[in-house]
Amino acid sequence: MTETHDLVGFILERNAMQSREFCSPGAALARRLYRAQHPSEIIALKCMDGRLNLSVMTNTPPGIIKPYRNIGGKFDLGWPFFGRLILDDVEYSVSKGRPTIVLSTYHFSKGDTHRGCAGHGYDTHAARTEAMRLSCQFTDAFGSKYEAVWPLVVGIETDEGGLVFHGAGERLLDIAAHVDADVEHLHTEFRHLYPAVPDSLLEDLLPIVIGNQRYVRDMRAQKRPVIDLEHREQIIAVGRGFDWLHLPNRALMIGPYDPQWEHAVAVAGGIVINNMNTKRIPSECGALLLVSAPFRAIGADQGVAIEKALFLAHEAHRVLAEQVPAIIGTLKTLVGTVDMNTRHFHVLKDVVFASSLGSIESHGNE
């Protein structure tokens, strides 16, 4: 089975493999050890862009950095669902005696402006300004003096994968310019960049930075062709619980946080069609709408997750049929729930669309 010709099979096989790895004694113990050594909870607010995978870019095991995805990395704590989830995250961290690091990110390409953020019209200044606004909103909502929540503005350069940490004013630290710096040097740099941040929190940030140094060195050694630096997504992933994908540049990911989240689905559909038209992905392979809702407990938690996944699938399919009709003929759909204890994707069978413009496929894998 090739990943490009059977996207559904590829995704299900990928999930089975990643779930097995996630549940393996070694990986489970490594995560617990990592948590014990680096207790800060880390949230990453990111664009839906498939090239942004902070776990991969920082060589951090899946399950440590908690991602939230939306077009352009645009979020607002005033969105009821998003505000509730973040509040739950912070309350959980506080109950465990842990601080929360919130990475408010934007992305850009140093090689070509047009490999930057489509969600901001390739305007890196606008993308950075939005990340800074969001960081300030976190400070306003959670306070700046009590050490529980630390919003940090981080740029992600997608050609090499280097992170850029922003401090006060114009101060910044570009990891791509410090790929060989030793840990003492990095510690000193971060101490200057974030004078108010406690040492314990810096200790939790440094493994991510060191992992990013390694990633940038690897990317430079690989000398990737330009096509690999551009959009190559075939999958529109809608919902939450996708960290098991762990694949850069294959899926555009949209969480249902913005009350008008379906607009981002239409934009994602346009990006996938453009990827086909410009032959960055083979058009005969088609596109995949992958929909997921996470749950932690069997019973009602899973029951509601099933309803969420079905709702998201129908809305996403409806907006694609209305606004990106060219994609419907090539679109397969895979809907399910993800058990966050195992990262196993439970396929929902016999999903049928009311829309006459397209049909959801039924997959009897489970």
Least Å distance between CB 76 and Zn ion? Answer: 17
Q: Which stretch binds Zn ion (CB under 5 A): 112-120, 256-264, 285-293, 329-337?
A: 112-120
CB of 151 to Zn ion, least distance (A): 19
CB closer to Zn ion, 107 vs 346: 107
- Interaction residues for Zn ion, span 156-215 (CB under 5 A): none
As beta bridge partners, residue 336 has 292, 347
Give me the residues paired with residue 172 across strands.
Answer: 166
Least Cβ distance, residue 105 to Zn ion (angstroms): 10
Q: What's the closest the beta carbon of residue 44 comes to Zn ion, in angstroms? A: 13
Report the Cα 257 to chain-centroid distance in Å.
13
Q: How far apart are CA 169 and CA 153, in angstroms?
A: 12
Whichever of 205 and 237 has its CB closer to Zn ion, that residue is 237
CB of 253 to Zn ion, least distance (A): 11
Chain positions 30 to 59 lying near Zn ion, rule: CB under 5 A, are: 47, 49
DSSP structure string for 101-164? EEEEEEEE-SS-GGGS-GGGTT-HHHHHHHHHHHHHHHHHHH-SSSSSEEEEEEEEETTT--EE
Q: Does 286 bind Zn ion (CB under 5 A)?
A: no
Looking at beta carbons only, is 47 or 312 nearer to Zn ion?
47
Q: How far is the CB of 116 from Zn ion (least distance, A)?
A: 7
Query: Between 265 and 285, whose beta carbon lies closer to Zn ion?
Result: 265
Q: Is 119 in the site for Zn ion (CB under 5 A)?
A: yes
268 binds Zn ion (CB under 5 A): no
Choose one: 29-37, 110-118, 144-152, 325-333; the region binding Zn ion (CB under 5 A).
110-118
Shorter beta-carbon distance to Zn ion: residue 47 or 154: 47
Q: Which residues contact 33 (CB under 8 A, 6 or more apart)?
A: none
E strands of the chain, at which residues? 41-47, 65-70, 100-108, 149-157, 163-166, 172-174, 235-239, 251-254, 287-295, 331-339, 344-347
- CA 280 – CA 294 distance, rounded (Å): 31
Dist. CA 325–CA 329, nearest whole Å: 8
Rounded Cα distance between 18 and 244, Å, is: 6
Q: Does 312 bind Zn ion (CB under 5 A)?
A: no
Contact between residue 12 and residue 365 where contact means Cβ atoms under 8 Å apart? yes
Amino acid at 20: R
Under rule CB under 5 A, how many of the chain's residues touch Zn ion?
4
If the CB atoms of residues 48 and 293 are measured against Zn ion, the closer one turns out to be 48
Name the residue among 123, 70, 85, 109 with its Cα closest to residue 252.
70
Nearest approach, Cβ of 35 to Zn ion (angstroms)?
Answer: 30
Chain centroid to Cα 354, Å, comes to 30
Q: Which is nearer to Zn ion, 48 or 90 (CB)?
A: 48
Binding status of residue 117 toward Zn ion by CB under 5 A: yes
Contact positions vs Zn ion (CB under 5 A): 47, 49, 117, 119
